[in-house]
Amino acid sequence: MATIKVPDHVPSPAEDCEQLRKAFQGWGTNEDLIISILAHRNAAQRSLIRKTYADLYGEDLLKELDKELSSDFERIVLLWTLEPADRDAFMVYEATRILTRNNLAIVEIACTRTSIQLYKVRQAYHARYKRSLEGDVAYHTSGDIRKLLFPLISSLRYEGDEVNQTWAKSEAKILHEKIASKEYNHEELIRILTTRSKAQLLATFNHYNNEYGNAINKDLKADPKDEYLKLLRTTIKSLTFPERHFAKILRLAINKLGTDEWALARVVASRAEIDMERIKEEYYRRNSIPLDRAIAKDTSGDFERMVLELIGHGDA
C-alpha cells in the first residue's frame, strides 16, 4: 500500500550518484533531476545511493543536499533520504527542542511504528545523539505529558493477536471510571494505554463502547483544547486506526491558514512507503477531494512536486 513508484529498470547506484552530482553542479541546482531520482527509489535503494555517493565522491549525500536545497523542499528531501529509523530518531529529537516542540509527533511515532522499528529508532538515537531517546523525551517534558510520553515511547508492545477478554472487560471498566471522574492522568489509565498490545486495546475499546455507550475518544473530548487530553486521543486513534490519524493530520496541515509543511513532510516522508494508499482513501472519505488535488491547491514549487511524486497523483 505504498504510493512511491520505482521504475522497472532502476539505474545502478553509481549512475544515480552521477546524476545527482550533476544536479548539484553548474549554475543553480537541478531540483527536477533530484526529485526524479530520489522520489522513485525505495529505502534500500536510497541507502545504497547514499553509501555509493560517499564512496565515489567522499561526501555525505545528505550534507550535499543540505548545501544545495533550502526551506520546506530541503526538509522533505532530507527526511525522505534518511533511513526510516534514523528519520524517526531525528524527528523525535526535533520534537523535543524548544523551537520545534511537538508532543503530538512523539505520540504518533510511538504508536504507529512496530516494536522492532521502535527499537531501531532508539538505537539510531544512541548513535546520533549519544544519549537515550526516552531520556531526552523525559528531560524535555514534565507533569502529565511526561507521565504519558515516557512509557509510550519506551514500551515495546506485544504484537500477536491474542486477546484476553477478561482483561478487556476489567480494563474497560478502569478506563471508564477514571474518565468519568476526570482522573485522566491516573497511573492505571496510562498503564493500560501504554503497555497493552494493539489487539488487546482494540478489544478493550470495543468493550468500552458497548458497555458505556460512547467511543472512548468521545468521552475524552471534555476539553478539546487541553493538550494532554488531545495527546490521549491521538494515542488511541493512532494505535487503533493509524490511517485515519494520518489523514486527519494531513487535513489539518492543509486547511490551516498557511499550510503546515512540517506536518505534511513528516507524514508523507514516513508513510509513502508504508500505507499512504490507505491514508489517501481515508482522506477522500472524509474530505471528498483527493489528497493530491488538495495538496496541489495548497502548496507550490519544488515542495509540491516532491510531495506529489511521493504520494502519486492524477490517479484519483
**12: exposed, middle or buried (C-beta count within 10 Å: 0-12, 13-18, 19+)?**
exposed
Residue from 59, 159, 177, 223 in contact with its own copies (CB under 8 A): 159
Residue from 96, 197, 217, 238 in contact with its own copies (CB under 8 A): 197
Q: Does 132 sit near its own copies (CB under 8 A)?
A: yes
Which part of the chain contacts its own copies (CB under 8 A), choosing from 99-107, 124-132, 173-181, 249-257? 124-132
Q: Does 166 sit near its own copies (CB under 8 A)?
A: no
Q: Does 96 sit near its own copies (CB under 8 A)?
A: no
Residue from 59, 177, 183, 187 in contact with its own copies (CB under 8 A): 187
Half-sphere exposure of 136 (CA within 13 A, CB side): 22
Q: Does 169 sit near its own copies (CB under 8 A)?
A: no
Strand blocks (E) in 20-153? none
The answer to whether the CB of 316 falls within 8 A of the CB of 282 is no
How many residues belong to the chain? 316
Residue from 196, 207, 237, 271 in contact with its own copies (CB under 8 A): 196
Which part of the chain contacts its own copies (CB under 8 A), choosing from 155-163, 214-222, 228-236, 261-269? 155-163
Neighbours of 276 (CB within 10 A): 25
Q: Does 131 sit near its own copies (CB under 8 A)?
A: yes
Which amino acid, 190? I
Tell me the three cell numbers of residue 283. 482522506
Tell me the three cell numbers of residue 25. 553542479
Residue from 150, 208, 246, 303 in contact with its own copies (CB under 8 A): 150
In whole angstroms, give the CA distance from residue 231 to residue 143: 13
In whole angstroms, give the CA distance from residue 196 to residue 155: 9
**Cα angle for residues 106, 111, 117 (degrees, 5° grid):** 90
Q: Does 225 sit near its own copies (CB under 8 A)?
A: no
Q: Does 200 sit near its own copies (CB under 8 A)?
A: yes
Complex with its own copies: residue 61 or 137, whichever CB lies closer:
137
User: What does the binding site for its own copies look like in residue numbers (CB under 8 A)?
Assistant: 115, 119, 122-123, 126, 130-132, 134-135, 138-139, 142, 146-147, 150-151, 154-160, 162, 187, 191, 195-197, 200
